[in-house]
């Protein structure tokens, strides 16, 4: 029987975190590095890499940063090649990169709808396909999709009004369940974290415009903080969750419990 600390240990494992240079992605990358993982962060804005790398290297592990638009197949292929050349394998894929476009449904531009879907659901498919082939060969792996409570329930438009975001995250939730079933035979676990409202670069303006309305939607009365998603990420990446697949886990201050 393994000791609990051993179950959470990620020493030597390779974890790819998309959108890992800021926000929730950096929070999760930091947690994985703290528990010993070798972390690859990819994002579209390489100017953020230096600060993110310094934070992760403080834990004493290896860090690789790759500039990548994960909604573009050729860039996903290049990312895959760099990871394999540097580390020779992958243990954990965190599909975190995402975007939203806030607008009333009747005014949502089709172009923006498509951009949201390209990053929020097509990109996780491309990444799971590219790195999943390696996991199938290895007969092991953990994929963690960062969905949203917006993909589980309808949202009050006075608090957050993005039909494209909620629809794409709902697709990601069912992508998680279906992929978990299809790849269980390969010992690949696929789970999703559904964050509630966390103040990040992607939604800071929305929160600043209506903090009281948003806080009222959360039973704990406040958005998630800068360490509040770390535990779920480490748990799903590690052997502590080795009998967990197809799970959809809200980290939302109780919002979906209303």
Note the pLDDT tens digit of each residue in 188-239: 999 999 999 998 877 788 789 889 988 998 999 999 999 999 999 999 999 9
Measured at the alpha carbon of residue 172, what is the angle toward residues 22 and 161, in degrees to the nearest 5? Answer: 70
| Ranges under pLDDT 70 in the chain | 159
Is 207 noted as a catalytic residue in this protein? Answer: no
238 Rama sector, left if φ>0, alpha if ψ -120 to 50, beta otherwise: beta
159 HSE (CA, 13 A, CB side): 15
- Tell me, what's the pLDDT at 209? 87
Q: How many CB atoms lie within 10 A of CB 60?
A: 9
Return d(Cα 233, Cα 250) in angstroms, integer.
12
Apex 45 CA angle, 39 and 47, nearest 5: 85
**Which of 35, 87, 131, 165 is the catalytic position?**
165
CATH 3.40.50.720 fits 10-117+142-252, yes or no: yes
pLDDT score recorded for residue 159: 66
Q: Using a cut of 0.75, tell me whether the model's pTM lies above it.
A: yes
b vs e for 225-248, b when ≥16 Cβ sit within 10 Å of the residue's Cβ? eeebbbebbbbbbbebbeeebeeb
């Amino acid at each position: 029987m393994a000791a609990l600390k051993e179950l959470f240990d990620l020493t030597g494992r390779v974890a790819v975190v998309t959108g890992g240079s800021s926000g929730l992605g950096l929070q999760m990358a930091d947690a994985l590095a703290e528990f010993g993982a070798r972390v690859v962060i990819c994002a579209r804005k390489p100017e953020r890499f230096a600060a993110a790398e310094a934070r992760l290297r403080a834990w004493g592990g290896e860090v690789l940063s790759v500039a990548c638009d994960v909604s573009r197949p050729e860039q996903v292929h290049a990312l895959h090649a760099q990871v394999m050349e540097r580390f020779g394998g992958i243990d954990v894929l965190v599909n975190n990169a995402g975007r939203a476009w806030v607008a009333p449904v009747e005014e949502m531009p089709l172009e923006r709808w498509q951009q949201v879907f390209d990053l929020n659901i097509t990109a996780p498919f491309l990444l799971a396909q590219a790195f999943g082939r390696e996991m199938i060969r290895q007969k092991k792996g953990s994929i963690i999709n960062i969905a949203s409570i917006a993909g589980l329930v309808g949202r009050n438009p006075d608090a957050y009004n993005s039909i494209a975001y909620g629809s794409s995250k709902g697709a990601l939730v069912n992508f998680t369940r279906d992929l978990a079933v299809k790849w269980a035979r390969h010992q690949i676990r696929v789970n999703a974290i559904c964050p509630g409202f966390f103040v990040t670069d992607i939604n800071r303006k929305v929160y600043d415009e209506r903090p009281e309305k948003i806080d009222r939607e959360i039973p704990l009365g406040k958005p998630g903080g800068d360490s509040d998603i770390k535990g779920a990420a480490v748990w799903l990446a590690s052997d502590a969750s080795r009998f967990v697949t197809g799970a959809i886990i809200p980290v939302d201050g109780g919002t979906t419990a209303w």
